[in-house]
Amino acid sequence: MLNKLKKSAIKLSIVTTLAITPSIALGASGGGFIEGSSESTTAIIESPNFEGQLVRINTGINLIRINTDILENMPISEDSEWVDKVIASPDNNRIMNMEDVKEDAYYSTVIRTSRMLNRNAARISPLGIRLYSEAAAIYTKIPNMNKFPDISNSQTFITFEDATLINVEARNGERYDNAELATISLLPEDIQETTKEALTNYQEAKKLFLDKKSEVGKIEIWLEDEANEGSPKIGTYEEKLSIAEAEVEKSENNFDEKADIYYELLSKGADSLESNYDESKLALAKKLEKLLNTVDNNSIGAISMFGAATAGLIRGVGVIQQEVEVLGKFSDKYHNEADKAAIRLKRMAIGSVMAIPNIGIGTYYAFKQSSLAGSYQAIVEKVIEGGEAAAEAEKAAAELKEESK
């Protein structure tokens, strides 16, 4: 396994360090950028380490996954209590005492192994705390946070395979299938159907792109399998890969095109709200406002995690052997937790191989989610601004009436 880790480290050493551009920093709604910046700073000043970077990458992927469910799969209404729980400040003590955190192989033992390595380590990052807090709000049971994505199934980069969402009912107002349709419902009625059609086209293009990426992944797995070295089929698979990569490029262009059309309609819809304020939609807009901020924050947080991890991985490749040796000795010192050290070693082996695709693909989807959330935020903000303007006008009229008495 050590050779496997070292082989992956060679690849990691040539990865260009990712950084948050000023435009992304300015676009962040708050928490994600602040927590991510803190994580980036920690990665620079902490002692070189390798395993901790894989945990950062995994947290970034999980933030993308939970964003998918928050945006696309959770029913919502103007009185949805789950939204209030998602956007609430995490209760650190409650999260630290959750079984899924308290018994996790890494979180429950990292302090002790760090002492054995003569270095400091935080048990779980602020973004990790937030991840579990949000997960507790929308799932009947916390999904597997250590399930690595599969490059032969691109859907696994953006969704949890074992997640079961809570049941959601609406007491007041209409219940929408998800936050996307709820946001579209804020637009003037005459443009809602066209916008929904554009959303459907966007989603279909996204699915096609994911499918094509999965095909490339399947071929790459075959070509990278040592069992296939020297196979007479290598030439055939290399040709298949070339064709599949061309299909990915074509499907990505189509996805970008459909995204541009959808974003343009959302932008025009937001502009049209300046002269089409509807008071009945204000409560839903206020419910969506902080939820969309949370999605944006999660996206920015994921990008920050990937950037911090990349820098940390490059610094940490030299200590892989020390970490493996300490985990190997861990069972001698803590007999009752030997299984947790074995789990951590297994995760390191798989995580190091997945580090590059997780960073690259994860960053791509995090940017996409942030852009989408931004388009929805513009619509919600227009409705809220309309409500504020109406309230100010009503107040001014009341004052004028009082003065005329």
Q: Tell me: the pLDDT tens digits for 225-239?
A: 889 999 999 999 999
Residue 14 scores a pLDDT above 60: no
Q: What is the mean pLDDT of residues 6-33?
A: 41
Q: Identity (one letter) of the amino acid at 367?
A: F
Q: What is the mean pLDDT of residues 127-143?
A: 97
Q: 266: which 2 tokens?
A: 């959302």
- Comparing 7-11, 63-67, 184-188, 362-366, which segment has the lowest mean pLDDT? 7-11
User: Would you mind telling me the total number of residues written for the chain in this entry?
Assistant: 405
pLDDT interval class at 28 (50, 70, 90): very low
Residue 123 scores a pLDDT above 80: yes
Give 272: exposed, middle or buried? Use CB within 10 Å, 0-12, 13-18, 19+: middle
329 near 55, Cβ under 8 Å? Answer: no
Residue 166, sorted as left (phi over 0), alpha (psi -120 to 50) or beta, turns out to be: beta
Q: 293: which 2 tokens?
A: 């901020």
Task: Give the pLDDT confidence score for residue 40 in this predicted structure.
Answer: 64
Q: Identity (one letter) of the amino acid at 224?
A: E
Where do we find the tokens 């070292």?
A: 6
Helix, strand and coil in the chain, % to nearest 5:
75, 0, 25
Rounded to 5 degrees, φ, ψ at 103 are: -105, 5
Q: What is the mean pLDDT of residues 327-336?
A: 88
Task: Give the pLDDT confidence score for residue 387 in this predicted structure.
Answer: 86
Task: Give the pLDDT confidence score for residue 20 in this predicted structure.
Answer: 33
Of 303, 206, 286, 309, give the one whose Cα is nearest residue 248.
206
Q: What is the mean pLDDT of residues 252-276?
A: 95
What pLDDT digit, counting tens, does each position of 175-219 carry? 999 999 999 999 999 999 999 999 999 999 999 999 999 999 999
Residue 311 scores a pLDDT above 70: yes
Task: Give the pLDDT confidence score for residue 383 in this predicted structure.
Answer: 95
317 near 50, Cβ under 8 Å? Answer: yes
Task: Give the pLDDT confidence score for residue 220 in this predicted structure.
Answer: 93
Q: How far does CA 72 lie from the centroid of its chain? A: 13
Q: What is the mean pLDDT of residues 293-300?
A: 95
64 or 14, which is more confident:
64
Q: What is the mean pLDDT of residues 363-377?
A: 95
Task: Give the pLDDT confidence score for residue 372 in this predicted structure.
Answer: 96
Q: What is the mean pLDDT of residues 54-74?
A: 97
Task: Give the pLDDT confidence score for residue 18 in this predicted structure.
Answer: 35
pLDDT interval class at 11 (50, 70, 90): very low
Task: Give the pLDDT confidence score for residue 138 in this predicted structure.
Answer: 98
- What lies within 8 Å, CB to CB, of 186 at 6+ separation is 273, 281, 284, 285, 288, 379, 380, 383
Rg (CA), the chain: 24
Compute the mean pLDDT over every residue in the chain, rounded to the nearest whole number. 88
Task: Give the pLDDT confidence score for residue 403 in this predicted structure.
Answer: 66
Task: Give the pLDDT confidence score for residue 22 in this predicted structure.
Answer: 33
pLDDT interval class at 398 (50, 70, 90): low
Task: Give the pLDDT confidence score for residue 26 in this predicted structure.
Answer: 38
Task: Give the pLDDT confidence score for residue 298 in this predicted structure.
Answer: 96
Distances (CA, A) of 394 to 99, 317, 390: 52, 64, 6
106 near 124, Cβ under 8 Å? Answer: no
